[in-house]
Amino acid sequence: MPIECKVSNSSTNSVKRLNNDAAVKATSWKTDFGLRQVVPSAVLSGVYKLHNLKDAQERGLTIFWAHNLQALTDWIIQTKN
């Protein structure tokens, strides 16, 4: 589970941080490691435009928020079963 950590201080900056960086890596990771072998993820903090978040998810990036890391740890624990 490769994880990118990104902080964006403005919705304009979010395009660069999320879509041009993390989502591109998600596509690459899925190609390199296989669709069943990897869950590309990002832990985000800050300001993001909703359409940029949706675009990143449609490109295969799973999003978690830094203010709720319990969701990330819960998800990881569920994969062990």
Quick one: pLDDT at residue 24? 85
C-beta of residue 21 within 8 angstroms of C-beta of residue 29: no
Nearest residue to 64 (alpha-carbon basis) of 31, 55, 73:
73
Number of domains making up the chain: 1
Identify the domain containing residue 27 by its residue range.
Answer: 3-79
Quick one: pLDDT at residue 73? 94
The CA–CA distances, whole Å, from 28 to 49, 50, 81 equal: 23, 23, 27
Quick one: pLDDT at residue 35? 77
Mean of pLDDT values over 63-80: 92
Residue 81 pLDDT class (50, 70, 90 cuts): low
Q: In this predicted model, what pLDDT tens digit does every residue of 15-67 receive, in sequence order?
A: 877 877 888 888 888 888 887 788 999 999 999 999 999 999 998 899 999 99
Indicate the angle between helix axes 50-58 and 23-33, nearest 10 degrees. 10
Nearest residue to 25 (alpha-carbon basis) of 67, 65, 79, 62:
62
